[in-house]
Amino acid sequence: MNRRTFLLTTGAAILGQGLSGCNTLKKSLFFSDKSQKFTKVVDQLDWIDDHRRQNLALKSEKKDASDLNKLVPEINEIELLNIHSSQPTNSLRIIAWNTERGRNWREGVQLIESNPALKNPDVILLGEMDLGMARSYNEHTTKELAAALNMNYAYGVEFLELTKGEAEEREKYPGENEWGYHGNAILAKYPLQNLRMIRFPGIEIWYNHYQKRLGGRMALFADIQINGKVITFVSTHLESTGNNEILRKSQMNMILNELKKRSEDLPVVIGGDFNATPDESLFKNLKKEGFLIEECNEIGKPTQQQFNDGKVFLVKKQIDYITIKNLEIMKDNTSPKVVPAAFTEKNHTIMLSDHAIVTVKVHSTI
């Protein structure tokens, strides 16, 4: 997407200008655990009214981005719906998908219900899910998708969007944002427990971006009890800024640090858009902590998508993953799998996201 191209050139420059000649600050940002942890769970997130959002965009408080974040505690709550409970089976189908705003959730439901590698998912780890954004018809895309699939959901805000998004989105989708939330989610057939969220530092990069955002990259954690055992699931979206491998490694280390506090000996599943190619150093750290990489993914297969001449193609890089610890992988022709996020009906193909879907099955009898 355009934001990736923009950040490759400007994001790195912003970081470089802010950190050059200041090794202490660089070390603090990249190598210390500066994440913030939030655990308040609500039935529905609070709305931030238009006037407050406009003031935050105009920086009327004369504060920097980190301090502005403190003025919107609403974005640090986790919305939870737990109304479904299924009988566990011997396997779990896990899906991870960056939905690119979630606006095509209806076709996403049809794809999931019809594709053998996606059908009957037990857990779905989602990124880039909008709530009340004009570009996604002001829908609560997570809530709608979960309802259509008869699944519970937990939703956390990654960004409070203070504009209507990217330039082409502002032109293509009329109207105004009603909520302005954009985030990660976990959907499950089973009750979600012990919800928590960690937010990574570095929102200055995105607040100074033309999209103007508050909040920050984050990871959403939830525990699920299956066959008398607890599995921790993590949905995350790591930084795309300037192709910065060091920053992504730092963010993954923050996730691993949080897991050591609560889930070190438990089975764990981390999934999402890592914005990282398989050769990046964050995967070495994951392996050191006992996570499987190659066994859970079709390594070498791109997960970015493009639409051309009425067809969807997997292109560029592999940046979306599911990584698993203390669970046995089930391998067959549907697991692990990269599935193009495209739905064809009446000879008309719709690309549902700029990311493909990744999926894997595991034994649930731990």
CATH of the domain at 282: 3.60.10.10
What does the alpha-carbon distance between residue 35 and residue 214 come to, in Å, rounded to a whole number? 15
Q: What's the pLDDT at 24?
A: 35
Q: What 3-state DSSP class applies to 235?
A: strand
Structure-token match 């954004």, residue found: 133
**Contacts within 8 Å (CB) and 24+ apart, 332-335:** 332/361, 334/116, 334/117, 334/359, 334/361, 335/93, 335/117, 335/359, 335/360, 335/361
Q: What's the pLDDT at 242?
A: 65
Q: What's the pLDDT at 31?
A: 46
**β-strands 342-345, 348-351: how paired?**
antiparallel
Q: What's the pLDDT at 264?
A: 74
What does the alpha-carbon distance between residue 117 and residue 89 come to, in Å, rounded to a whole number? 17
Q: What's the pLDDT at 345?
A: 87
Q: What's the pLDDT at 275?
A: 97
Q: What's the pLDDT at 346?
A: 84
What does the alpha-carbon distance between residue 100 and residue 102 come to, in Å, rounded to a whole number? 6
Provide the strand spans (E) within 138-279.
152-161, 181-188, 193-199, 213-215, 218-226, 229-237, 268-273
The tens digit of pLDDT for each residue in 219-241 reads 999 999 998 899 999 999 999 87
- First and final C-alpha spacing in the chain: 40
Instruction: Tally Cβ neighbours within 10 Å of residue 317.
Output: 12
**Domains held by the chain: number:** 1
Q: Which parts of the chain sit beneath pLDDT 50?
A: 1-31
The answer to pTM > 0.75 is yes
Segments forming the whole domain that contains residue 106 = 2-363
Q: What's the pLDDT at 28?
A: 39
**CA distances (Å), origin 306, targets 73, 303, 360:** 37, 10, 23
User: Quick one: which H or E segment has residue 111?
Assistant: helix 105-114
Q: What's the pLDDT at 81?
A: 98
